[in-house]
Amino acid sequence: MALISMQTMAKNAMSMIQSGPTGIKTGIKGLDDYTGGLVRGGYNVIAARPSMGKTALMMQILVQMTNVGQRGIFYSIETGEKLLNARLMCNLCRVSLDELYAGGYSSENKAKISLGLKTYYGLTCDNEFDSYITPSGLYKSALKCKEEHGRLDIIFIDYLQIMRPDETSLHGQLKVAHLSQELKAIGKELDVAMVILSQLNRGNEGREDRRPRLSDMRDSGTIEQDADMVWLLHREDYYREREETHPNLDGLCEVIVAKNKQGQCGTINLNWQPEYFFFFDC
């Protein structure tokens, strides 16, 4: 990699200032107001315990970004094409999975599906459903996409811990650390924003306050250190029995910005509609 003089960096900084905000907007106002969007070359992690809505939030950001012309790739290592397709349809059409699978749609649902499909066809995103993909394979795939389309803005990966390393001898924390560092390097090399899903350990479940913390990522290699931003998802509804749940918590998802190299940390509240795999601002 060539050396860059301070004078060249100063000129680049002036161009950046003159061009205005550089963050790629997620389309979720609360998140965008708080974070300024996702920066090219940035390594962003959405982490949570299972069933908190990680994949749904990632898919919604994918839809919002690629619906306004950002070019993306979604690497779905865990979820197959059919299930992901169904979830996307629920999100885009505001039709539940039960309604989608039942068929015999009402006139209202037909209208929703027609409108949703119109949006679906316009999304500027490619998808890969390779359960055996490695960082080197992902890099080749992403580079090919960038060359074919002339640009690439963002890469989504679901999810980190089940990805295969290029070095098959690596296991446990060493494997995850290797994957995290390789993916971070890919984002910088291709100058794209990376959004990576990650599982948290069970540390929060033994605490009175079950909101996750950065320390709950400690078993996940160097993800905490590598990340430019970390969003931790928490839904108290998941833990409380329905009859004990306070009405004000019903449907609430807290997005805890636990690390943010480009700004403030704190919590954004979103409403969660599980039947549509859909988040919206409170």
Which tokens is 191 given? 């100058």
Instruction: Kindly state whether residue 278 falls inside one of the protein's structural domains.
Output: no
Instruction: Kindly state whether residue 275 falls inside one of the protein's structural domains.
Output: no
Residue partners of 228: CB distance under 8 A and separation at least 6? 39, 42, 43, 44, 259, 260, 261, 262
Question: pTM for the whole thing?
Answer: 0.88
Instruction: Kindly state whether residue 74 falls inside one of the protein's structural domains.
Output: yes
DSSP string of 43-102, one letter each residue = EEEEEESTTSSHHHHHHHHHHHHHTTT--EEEEESSS-HHHHHHHHHHHHHT--HHHHHH
Residue partners of 254: CB distance under 8 A and separation at least 6? 211, 233, 234, 235, 236, 267, 268, 269, 270
Q: Is residue 237 a contact partner of residue 250, using CB atoms and an 8 Å limit?
A: yes
Instruction: Kindly state whether residue 132 falls inside one of the protein's structural domains.
Output: yes
For 243-265, b/e burial (b = at least 16 CB within 10 A) is eebeeeeebbbbbbbbbbeeeee
Domain residues for 91? 39-230
Instruction: Kindly state whether residue 184 falls inside one of the protein's structural domains.
Output: yes
Distance from C-alpha of 27 to C-alpha of 72, rounded to nearest angstrom: 14
Distance from C-alpha of 38 to C-alpha of 83, rounded to nearest angstrom: 27
Instruction: Kindly state whether residue 140 falls inside one of the protein's structural domains.
Output: yes
Q: Quick one: pLDDT at residue 97?
A: 87
Token pair 């960038």 is found at 146
Instruction: Kindly state whether residue 116 falls inside one of the protein's structural domains.
Output: yes
How confident is the prediction along the chain (282 residues), in pLDDT tens digits per residue? 677 777 777 777 777 666 555 688 898 888 888 888 898 999 999 999 888 889 999 999 999 999 988 999 999 998 899 889 989 989 999 988 888 888 767 888 889 888 989 999 999 999 999 999 999 999 999 999 999 999 999 999 998 888 998 888 877 888 888 999 999 999 999 999 999 999 887 767 767 778 898 888 766 668 888 999 999 999 888 777 555 655 555 788 999 999 998 888 899 999 998 889 999 887
Rg of the Cα atoms in the chain:
19
Structural domains in the chain (count): 1
Instruction: Kindly state whether residue 115 falls inside one of the protein's structural domains.
Output: yes
C-alpha dihedral, 93 to 99 to 100 to 103, nearest 10°? -130
User: Rounded to whole angstroms, what are the CA distances from 138 to 60, 182, 190?
Assistant: 22, 10, 12
CATH of the domain at 116: 3.40.50.300
